């Protein structure tokens, strides 16, 4: 995280209420309504997405001194699960409080909104690309983004880090298994 952004987060959470969690305690679950924004004072929070086949993708690990799922500031519901590490202390502010603080500077708010969306997308893409097998990457992509529009498979190949011919071979293999 850029130092200026980090300082802004620290200053924003000065004096915020704190909550303490033990290891493996869920902070929130995917599809929960976003009510608060969190900042890690001590410990860490792991953001994970469980795919339909049970595979767990770690999207991000928020460490001490960083916000948790800051992209959720611009969402109605969380897009992943958050699991607390051993002895985690979080500063907590209502989502509306954080948004109002950022809206005092409209340009900064717009830039942060755009950056948050890009950050969430990048974290997801990195975790998908860490999967070794093409079929696992494709399954993860389809579970998260759905089937692309006709003619968009080339962009899917790029997004998951494989060549278009390799992706087309996998798609053909899947079609032949369905018949």
Annotated domain spans of the chain: 3-129, 131-178
Banded pLDDT at 1 (limits 50, 70, 90):
very low
Chain segment 47-81, per-residue pLDDT in tens: 888 877 787 777 888 888 888 888 888 889 998 99
What does the pLDDT read at residue 113?
Answer: 75
Angstrom CA distances, 117 to 18, 79, 84, 109, 143, stand at 26, 12, 23, 12, 18
- What is the pTM (predicted TM-score) of this model? 0.64
> What would be the CATH architecture of the domain defined by 3-129?
Sandwich (2.60)
């Amino acid at each position: 995280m850029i130092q200026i952004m980090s300082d802004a987060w620290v200053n924003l959470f000065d004096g915020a209420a704190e909550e303490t969690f033990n290891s493996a305690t869920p902070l929130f679950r995917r599809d929960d309504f976003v009510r608060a924004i969190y900042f890690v004072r001590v410990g860490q929070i792991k953001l994970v997405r469980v795919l339909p086949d049970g595979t767990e993708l770690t999207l991000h690990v928020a460490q001490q001194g960083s916000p948790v799922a800051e992209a959720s500031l611009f969402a109605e519901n969380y897009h992943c699960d958050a699991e607390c590490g051993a002895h985690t202390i979080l500063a907590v502010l209502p989502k509306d409080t954080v948004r109002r603080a950022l809206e005092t500077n409209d340009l900064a708010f717009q830039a942060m909104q755009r950056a948050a969306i890009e950050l969430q997308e990048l974290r997801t893409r990195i975790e998908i690309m860490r999967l070794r097998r093409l079929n696992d990457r494709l399954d993860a992509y389809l579970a998260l983004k759905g089937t692309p529009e006709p003619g968009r498979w080339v962009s899917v190949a790029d997004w998951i880090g494989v060549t278009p011919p390799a992706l087309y071979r996998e798609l053909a293999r899947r079609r032949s298994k369905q018949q």
